[in-house]
A and B are shown apart, each in its own frame.
Chain A
Amino acid sequence: MESSVTSFGRLTSEGHRVTNASGFLGQTNVLPRGLGSSYGDVCLNPGGTLAVTAGMNNFLAFDQETGRLKVEPGVTLGEIQRTFAPRGWMLSVTPGTQFVSVGGAIGNDVHGKNHHARGTFGDNTLELTLLRSSGELLTCSREENRELFLATLGGLGLTGLVVDATIQLQPVSGAYLDTETIVFGDSGEFLKLSDESESAWQYIVSWIDCTSKNGRGIFMRGNNSADTRVPDVKLGGPSVPFTPPFSLINRASVLAFNQAYFNLNRIKAGSAVTHYQPYFYPLDSVTNWNLAYGPRGFYQYQMVIPRHDGRAVLDEILSQIRRSGQGSFLAVLKTFGADHGPGLLSFARPGITLALDFTNLGARSDALFKTLDSIVMEANGTLNPSKDARMSRAMFEQGFPKFAEFEQYRDKAISSAMSRRLMGW
């Protein structure tokens, strides 16, 4: 049936034919889609068909000894955490929201706070079954159909529909983390803390106050705790009930939020034992927070820049953002480990990554992004496709040089707004 579909950033709302996964075959212009939690246009196919896998949400097999879990693609990461944490296993890699599907996590080769320790979601994907539009079902792994496997990890859903996947969970004692919160005064201190922490801490993430002059922030590191308490965390929290007529995220609210957030965390700084939900998924506690950006939606701009000269580049980016007056609520900063993501189009690579959310202000947003793009490109950095809605083709080709090699593995019946924009098909 025909209906209007948006992605998480809500920048566009255009007509799609939407079917469940069984409607994937027999189409000429179709895109597999999980929960649609990507910010930009990677999960959109206006004028074409979306084959939604959310209903394919069965667990298929689990080995309690090895932690290998076989699932259908629509299983959410939250469901995996909830089900297996009490049994001593959790996801090896999780992004900052649990409302994403396994299929989406594979297609975007997502990363988490522990990239330096565990790599990407694709690094922990052992095997998958890929349905091609020809009707062919292919088992893909590092041993079998290896090239297609590596094209599918981070392949933006363009190589076929993943009908099942086997992933490696990691052993844990319980659902809690031992965490430490440290205030830093500038980007140099952040980098020093990162370097010192990587060998002893599995999870590292920072929030940076992009309204501040020096780039002060909060550094958070954690390890799975030996604490085996039964979780008593209450699910659910406030929600944004409807789309306000204008964005609630503006210069004044961003400034106020950043001040408050910094000072609250300065008071809280120190050690704590934290449940995984508020630690891994702080934003999931506010349902529909994306609506707060108003009817025009918002962009997430996530870059990675090489570690070499990273500090100077980071400072330049922060200064440009401050100058534009378009501060970001949530500026998330972390360093990636030494390994490049396994997929041909994987985003994760050695360097520093910064993710920022910006209200869509039309031409003003565009002008800021163009300035940031040129700094990022000059530094030999790139942007994360799973967040992107607007980078240029030239920028994509510079950041993802295997795009031409990737094309031979695409499924010719599959196309997305993003593939048409960045690869011309």
Chain B
Amino acid sequence: MRYLVIGATSGIAKAISRIWVSRDGEAEFVLVGRNASALDAAAADLQVRNPNAKCQVFSLDLTDPTAIGRLESQLGSVGRIDVALLAHGELTDQTLAQTDPITLANSLTVNATSVAVLAEMSARLMEKSGGGKLVVIGSVAGDRGRKTNYSYGAAKALLDTYVRGMQHRFAGGNVQPILIKPGPTATPMTAGMPGASKMASPDKVAADIVKGIDGDKATVYTPGIWKLIMLVVRMIPAPIFNKLNF
């Protein structure tokens, strides 16, 4: 199988790629990200785990549509992409986003615009080369705006609507969009956040995601309990919700 992994050095993407490489003797990876040396390290890791694995790396600014256009033409020749995983993103300092226009604009660009642009790019590549699964990492934070993280949550909410739109468009077709909604996960992105020690491990989250992809789920909450939690959170009436502190 050939895997296109965008944001390939993120904690969740690395954990998922490691599951794929350990069970798939013929795994081929196209690793895309911002930091060339971190991508090389991620590629080396997969090849140590499975010396038969093949890796190509592409580093670029994922917020630059022109660079993404160049990437698309380069990827046109790699062959069929069986799974595309879109995993890049960065946590936003909500307080800073409220006072600093650049922080807010960057957060929305990285977490929403860039992912949507790359999702369409992946869909085009897949449509041309025989189809595959298009997996987008959203977040439970996108299920309802909260005062502590709504600039990040709103970007993830855009991905929710975007992937649902793609699911509608490709219904019955050969591209299969899947939306993943992890709860807080202990990755480098969340290092130092209060409660980081109680967060789900990337390995657990990755195992859930791989299972969801294998099972052709449309939406995967991980850990599974978040499906219930967010159902409740969405149902709390606004007058009550707005008095809560979380």
Q: What is A's interface to B at a CB cutoff of 8 Å?
A: 1-4, 16-21, 50, 52, 54-55, 57-62, 64, 69, 72, 83
Contact B196 A18 (CB under 8 A): yes
How many Å lie between the Cα of A64 and that of B44 in the bound state? 15
> How far apart are A300's CB and chain B's nearest CB, in angstroms?
20
Contact A3 B194 (CB under 8 A): yes
Q: Within 8 Å CB of B188, what residues of A?
A: 20-21, 52, 54-55
Which of B42, B188, B191 has the most chain A CB within a 10 Å cutoff? B191
The total number of A-B Cβ pairs within 8 Å is 53
- Asked whether B239 is an interface residue with its Cβ less than 8 Å from the other chain, the reply is no
Q: Within 8 Å CB of B192, what residues of A?
A: 1-3, 16-20, 50, 52
Q: Within 8 Å CB of B41, what residues of A?
A: 58, 60, 72
Contact A60 B187 (CB under 8 A): no
Q: Within 8 Å CB of A55, what residues of B?
A: 11, 187-188, 191
Q: Quick one: which of B191-231 are within 8 Å of A by CB? A: 191-196
Contact A61 B194 (CB under 8 A): no
Other than A4-B194, A20-B188, give 8 A-B pairs with Cβ distance below 8 A: A2-B192, A3-B194, A16-B192, A52-B191, A55-B187, A59-B45, A60-B41, A60-B45
Given A18-B196, A55-B11, A72-B41, is A61 in contact with B191 using a C-beta cutoff of 8 Å? no
> How far apart are B62's CB and chain A's nearest CB, in angstroms?
18
Q: Within 8 Å CB of A3, what residues of B?
A: 192-196
Contact B11 A1 (CB under 8 A): no
Looking at chain A's contact residues, is the secondary structure mostly helix, strand, loop, or mixed?
strand
Which of A4, A60, A64 has the most chain B CB within a 10 Å cutoff? A60
Q: Quick one: which of B152-201 are within 8 Å of A by CB? A: 187-188, 191-196
Q: Within 8 Å CB of A18, what residues of B?
A: 191-192, 196
> How far apart are A17's CB and chain B's nearest CB, in angstroms?
7
Contact A60 B44 (CB under 8 A): yes
Q: Within 8 Å CB of A83, what residues of B?
A: 48-49
Given A55-B187, A83-B49, is A61 in contact with B44 using a C-beta cutoff of 8 Å? yes
> How far apart are A297's CB and chain B's nearest CB, in angstroms?
15
Can you list 6 A-B contacts with CB-CB less than 8 angstroms, sorted by A residue number? Answer: A4-B194, A18-B192, A20-B188, A58-B41, A72-B41, A83-B48
How many Å lie between the Cα of A55 and that of B11 in the bound state? 7
Given A3-B192, A3-B194, is A58 in contact with B187 using a C-beta cutoff of 8 Å? no
Contact B193 A1 (CB under 8 A): yes
Kindly list the 6 A-B residue pairs having the minimum CB-CB distance in the complex, ordered from nearest: A18-B192, A55-B188, A58-B45, A59-B48, A20-B188, A1-B192
Across the interface, name the chain B residue whose C-beta is closest to A6: B197
Contact B44 A20 (CB under 8 A): no
Q: Within 8 Å CB of A64, what residues of B?
A: 51
Q: Quick one: which of B1-25 are within 8 Å of A by CB? A: 11, 14
> How far apart are B237's CB and chain A's nearest CB, in angstroms?
31
Contact A61 B48 (CB under 8 A): yes
Which of A4, A17, A50, A54 has the most chain B CB within a 10 Å cutoff? A54
Contact B44 A19 (CB under 8 A): no
> How far apart are B47's CB and chain A's nearest CB, in angstroms?
9
| A-contact bits for B132-144, CB 8 A (1 contact / 0 none) | 0000000000000
How many Å lie between the Cα of A18 and that of B193 in the bound state? 8
Contact B191 A58 (CB under 8 A): no
Q: Within 8 Å CB of B48, what residues of A?
A: 59-62, 69, 83
> How far apart are A238's CB and chain B's nearest CB, in angstroms?
17
How many Å lie between the Cα of A357 and that of B44 in the bound state? 40
> How far apart are B81's CB and chain A's nearest CB, in angstroms?
23
> How far apart are A148's CB and chain B's nearest CB, in angstroms?
23
Q: Within 8 Å CB of A1, what residues of B?
A: 192-194
Indicate which residue in A4, A16, A50, A59 contacts B44 across the interface (CB closer than 8 Å).
Answer: A59
> How far apart are B8's CB and chain A's nearest CB, in angstroms?
11
> How far apart are B200's CB and chain A's nearest CB, in angstroms?
14
Contact A59 B49 (CB under 8 A): yes
> How far apart are A91's CB and chain B's nearest CB, in angstroms?
15
Q: Within 8 Å CB of A58, what residues of B?
A: 14, 41-42, 44-45
How many Å lie between the Cα of A2 and that of B193 in the bound state? 7
How many Å lie between the Cα of A72 and that of B11 in the bound state? 14
Q: Within 8 Å CB of A16, what residues of B?
A: 192
Across the interface, name the chain A residue whose C-beta is closest to B42: A58
> How far apart are B102's CB and chain A's nearest CB, in angstroms?
20
Q: Quick one: which of B40-59 are within 8 Å of A by CB? A: 41-42, 44-45, 48-49, 51
Which of A18, A55, A64 has the most chain B CB within a 10 Å cutoff? A55
> How far apart are B204's CB and chain A's nearest CB, in angstroms?
11
How many Å lie between the Cα of A389 and that of B133 in the bound state? 52
> How far apart are B22's CB and chain A's nearest CB, in angstroms?
8
Q: Within 8 Å CB of B191, what residues of A?
A: 18-20, 52, 54-55
How many Å lie between the Cα of A1 and that of B95 in the bound state? 13
How many Å lie between the Cα of A2 and that of B196 in the bound state? 11
How many Å lie between the Cα of A16 and that of B193 in the bound state? 11
Q: Within 8 Å CB of A4, what residues of B?
A: 194
Across the interface, name the chain A residue whose C-beta is closest to B91: A1
Q: Within 8 Å CB of B45, what residues of A?
A: 58-60
Q: Within 8 Å CB of A50, what residues of B?
A: 192
> How far apart are B37's CB and chain A's nearest CB, in angstroms?
11
Q: Within 8 Å CB of B42, what residues of A?
A: 58
How many Å lie between the Cα of A58 and that of B45 in the bound state? 5
Q: Within 8 Å CB of B51, what residues of A?
A: 64
How many Å lie between the Cα of A1 and that of B96 in the bound state? 13
> How far apart are B173's CB and chain A's nearest CB, in angstroms?
36
Q: Within 8 Å CB of A17, what residues of B?
A: 192
How many Å lie between the Cα of A2 and that of B194 in the bound state? 8
Across the interface, name the chain B residue whose C-beta is closest to A49: B192
